[in-house]
Structure 1
Amino acid sequence: MALTDLAVRNAKPGPTLIRIADERSLSLEISPNGGKRWRFRYRFNGKAKMLSLGVYPDVSLKDAREHRDEARSLLAQGIDPGEVRKAQKAEAEIDENTFERVAREWFGKFQPTWSPSHADRIIRRFEKDIFPWVSNRPIRDILAPELLTVVQRIEARGRIETAHRALQNCGQVFRYAIATGRADRNPASDLLGALPPVKEKHHPSITDPKEIAPLLRSMDSYQVSCPRLGERLR
């Protein structure tokens, strides 16, 4: 006998699991704690299987029947609806765990602790030099050679320091991914020494003895105010 909305709403739990049948292998399971879940039972390649179609009342009787009919349609085509569900779930997990998704999540958590200018430099670095190449890649699948190729594109423009900073930021994202269970290792740490070092910038120094004396006199006459002591220091 087919279920009705009223029957589903008024169904009460018992000391053990209760299963109330609807039409075409759809049933409503009621657990002892009162939870209600839709189940579709079917056979595929001679094996008995079961597919969960959602929890009542989030999934109504009408919705559950529509999900059942979709599953039956797949069976008619020789497709296991349970395997389709697994593939959809895996795809959804990949979408949530792409490098860009994780990087933006990391950025959102730490952005409040940075100055606006620092935060802007970091996100622009990602959007310009990192995301175009690994945006949709599952972060768990990115290995050191792939990451090296990304930062070497920055190096090829002569921006060695930017390449180092980009690699550092990527390393921070990977460490965050490891901490949140979405990556197993940090490939950025494997690239230590893979980029050429940043050239030190030397400031010009005074080498002419005639120029040293005026500098010393200027330093001697310079006075600094010290508010905490309420006096002037030479």
Structure 2
Amino acid sequence: MSLKEARAKRDEARRLLANGIDPAAAKRQAFIEATIGAATTFKLVADEYIEKMEREGKKTVPIKKSRWFRDLLDRDIGHRPVSEITPHELLNALRKVERKGHHETAQRLRAFAGRVFHYAIVTMRAQENPADLLRGALTAPQVKHHAAILEPSSLASCCAQSWAISGNPRR
């Protein structure tokens, strides 16, 4: 540290004292805030949320899907502090998935992000949920209706055909 820098720090400390602020306490507070900020990235909060799901006894499929959603968002917002993520950033990440034609995935991804942000709010690491503001911003997926089998005799023939194709010995 040069003499000029040392004098500047001394002057800053004197200014803080003149305003009734302890410079050492201010430095400790800044360090604590920086440490908390580094530990509250979206990815770390999402990991903690997924661990909570595991402790609550959720099935493996939703947990696996949640990890997949976390990985999809990781490149765009995973490194950002959860309290600083804006709706525009989240929308940009969701639109990347939507542009590939995966409308249902984009909707579910927004819902997952909303759950992570809600968890961050409950654990006092964020003030607002940007995913809530994005409801209706994504393209709704096309609903596909499938024909239903209404007669029991048709169901029996359908099952017999699928068993014959799969090689299932039960007939």
Task: Using structure 2 for the length normalisation, give the TM-score.
Answer: 0.71
Specify the code of the residue in structure 2 equivalent to 1:117.
V
Is residue 2:84 matched to residue 1:123?
no
Instruction: Show the counterpart of 1:45.
Output: 14
Deviations 1:18-75 (A, max 9, x none): xxxxxxxxxxxxxxxxxxxxxxxx9943849998xxxxxxxxxxxxxxxxxxxxxxxx
- 1:192 to partner: Cα distance: 0.9
- 1:83 to partner: Cα distance: 4.8
Provide the alpha-carbon RMSD of the alignment: 3.1
CA distance in 1, matches of 2:36, 2:52: 21
Instruction: Show the counterpart of 2:100.
Output: 157
CA distance in 1, matches of 2:127, 2:43: 17
Specify the code of the residue in structure 1 equivalent to 2:142.
K
- Secondary structure of the residue aligned to 1:154 is helix
Deviations 1:140-175 (A, max 9, x none): 111211111111111011111111111000101111
Does the aligned pair in 1 maintain the 2:69–2:112 contact within 8 Å? no
Does the aligned pair in 1 maintain the 2:114–2:132 contact within 8 Å? yes
Is residue 2:61 matched to residue 1:133?
no
Task: Name the CA shift for 1:152/1:220 in 2 (closer, same or farther; >3 Å).
Answer: closer
Instruction: Show the counterpart of 1:218.
Output: 153
CA distance in 1, matches of 2:53, 2:104: 22
- Deviation above 6 Å: which 4+ runs of structure 1? 48-51
More relative contact order, 1 or 2 (CA 8 Å, 6+ apart): 2
Instruction: Show the counterpart of 1:201.
Output: 144
Task: Name the CA shift for 1:221/1:163 in 2 (closer, same or farther; >3 Å).
Answer: closer
Task: Using structure 1 for the length normalisation, give the TM-score.
Answer: 0.53
Unaligned runs of 5+ in 2: 1-9, 158-171
Specify the code of the residue in structure 2 equivalent to 1:126.
R
Does the aligned pair in 2 maintain the 1:154–1:160 contact within 8 Å? yes
Does the aligned pair in 2 maintain the 1:95–1:136 contact within 8 Å? no
Aligned 1:21-100 pairs, distance under 5 A: 44-45=13-14, 47=17, 83-100=26-43
Instruction: Show the counterpart of 1:7.
Output: none
Larger radius of gyration: 1
Unaligned runs of 5+ in 1: 1-41, 52-79, 207-214, 223-234
Q: How many pairs were matched up?
A: 144
Task: Name the CA shift for 1:159/1:220 in 2 (closer, same or farther; >3 Å).
Answer: closer
- 1:202 to partner: Cα distance: 1.8
More strand per residue: 1
CA distance in 2, matches of 1:88, 1:125: 32
More moved, 166-175 vs 131-140: 131-140
